[in-house]
Amino acid sequence: MQVGRAAATIPAVEKNLLHSRKLETLPKKLTKQITMNVPVLLWEEVDQTGRILGYRDKRGVHSTFFRENVSESVQMWRKHPYICLAARHVVFISRDGHMFHRLEQELKLNAKTLQLPCAQEMKPEKWTDFLLHRDPQRDESEWLRSHWLLNAFSAWQGKRNPGAAPLSCRVDREGTIAKKVELEIDQGPGRFVTREHLIGLADYVQWKDSGRGSMVPKVAADFDRIDLLIEIPIRNLQVTVIVDTALYRSSPFASEAEIPELALEFRNLEGARFEDPSQDPENPFETRSDRSSGQDRHPKAGEALSLLRDFRERIAALATTEANDGPVLDDEERARAEEAFKLPESFLLLQLEWPSPPISRAVCVRWEKPVRLSPPQG
């Protein structure tokens, strides 16, 4: 099919001309006609979407739509201050409802970057729940801060070497519902940087009896989730979420086999859920949802446990890692985090691999809410 005319290789002066004039008025030497095969369904969806969005082109909306969106995508990858060439999330929900999250990103800088921003935030449902069950004798800010088991943000030149000192490592010791820092890296365009987020939150899960005053919609009241935001251009996304089945020891299941498997869903960055979670055939991902118990483990389950052991070792190493204002974790903080991080004997597992996740989307993994293990505080 004929897509339209795309810019060929041209001198810089003529590139400026290309971006300053309508494509259909350009001299032929500044354009190139190409042909490519497009699935009929995609062709029809482009036409329908273009008309809904008000595209106008006497030759049909397809050519304008394709050029505009391809150009936008190219500019995003070329002009964004930094892009991610690989990202790996490891999320662990422990037997007592604590959450640990490790994110490693391989970044390529497109512009000089003095400070690299990092942030992790509680989802609104959780900090609302914390406040509902606040100990009335404790200050609100101090109460929220007490639920953070750890937060550490680091950046290395190139790929992270376990023995190499980071360019920068910072801890937010004041944040209540969010932890935010700026890592001083002072790197120019074309450089590669590895960024790491390490987060731990005590009593993270939403319990089935915690809906009083909750912002969770009634239709979603039976499920809890982790939100992994796609906020910058990313290639090669990997997600591993592990939920200890001992979390459900107070729930009325006859056996572990009755515990529902983890499920995938998508939301926008404002938290609204996509009604149609089906795959895009032109941008597919691979996902696996499973459960593991005892010694008879699937190889993927063994890989997941290996990731958890690496995560636990990383937490232990934080006691000797220096942040901007001292050790990331003191002995008491490390002992608290390690006590909360108990390796599971059996667990639910969901893994996702996505070569080209779309920007401005939250990849969410959900699990059924368990019955509370102990009476609520406050």
377 in a domain, yes or no?
Answer: no
122 and 55 share one domain: no
Q: Which helix H or strand E contains 129, and what residues bound it?
A: helix 124-132
Same domain, yes or no: 204 and 308: yes
Average pLDDT of the residues of the chain = 86
Residue written as tokens 């993927």?
300
Q: Does residue 22 carry a pLDDT above 90?
A: no
Residues 24-55: tens digit of each pLDDT: 556 777 888 888 888 888 888 888 888 888 88
Q: Are residues 313 and 172 part of one domain?
A: yes
CA–CA gap between residue 237 and residue 356 (Å, rounded): 7
- pTM for this prediction: 0.86
Please name the helix (run of DSSP H) or strand (run of DSSP E) that holds residue 337, with its range, or none.
Answer: helix 331-340
Measure CA 2 to chain center. Answer: 37
Residue 87 amino acid letter? A
The string of DSSP letters for 28-80 reads GGG-EEEE----HHHHHHHHHHHHHTT---TT-HHHHHHHHHHHHHHHHHHHS
Tokens of 88: 């790996």
Angle at 97 between CA 118 and CA 357, to 5 degrees: 45
Q: How sure is the predictor about 190, in pLDDT bands with cuts at 50, 70 and 90?
A: very high
Pair (70, 98) in one structural domain:
no
Torsion angles phi and psi, residue 107, rounded to 5: -105, 145
On whether both 67 and 170 belong to a single domain, the answer is no
Residue 374 in domain = no
Helix (H, G, I), strand (E, B) or coil at 223: strand
Regarding whether 86 and 73 lie in a shared domain, the answer is: no
3-class DSSP string for 210-273: CCCCCCCCHHHCCEEEEEEEECCCECCEEEEEEEEHHHHCCCCCCCHHHCCCCEEEEECCCCCE
Tell how strand 237-244 and strand 82-93 pair up.
Answer: parallel
CA distance 38 to 55: 20
> Structurally, how many domains does the chain consist of?
2
Q: Which helix (H) or strand (E) holds 225?
A: strand 223-230
Please give the average per-residue pLDDT across 92-115, as a whole number.
97
Residues 115 and 46 in one domain: no
Neighbours of 3 (CB within 10 A): 15
> Which residue would you say has higher pLDDT here, 160 or 232?
232
Q: Which domain holds residue 24?
A: 2-79
User: Residues 236, 87: contact at Cβ < 8 Å?
Assistant: yes
Secondary structure letter of residue 136 according to DSSP = T
Instruction: Say if residues 115 and 217 touch (Cβ distance below 8 Å).
Output: no
Q: Is the dihedral of CA 342, 302, 317, 321 positive or negative?
A: negative
pLDDT at 123: 85
For residue range 149-175, what is the model confidence (pLDDT) as tens digits? 999 999 999 987 767 889 999 999 999
Q: 264 and 221, same structural domain? A: yes
Please indicate, yes or no, whether residues 161 and 68 belong to a single structural domain of this protein: no
Among 178, 161, 200, smallest CA distance to 334 is for: 200
24 and 52 within one domain = yes
Quickly tell me which residue has 């009604």 as its tokens: 275
Tell whether 236 and 344 lie within a shared domain.
yes
To which residue do tokens 């959450």 refer?
99
**pLDDT on residue 46:** 85
CA distance 353 to 161: 24
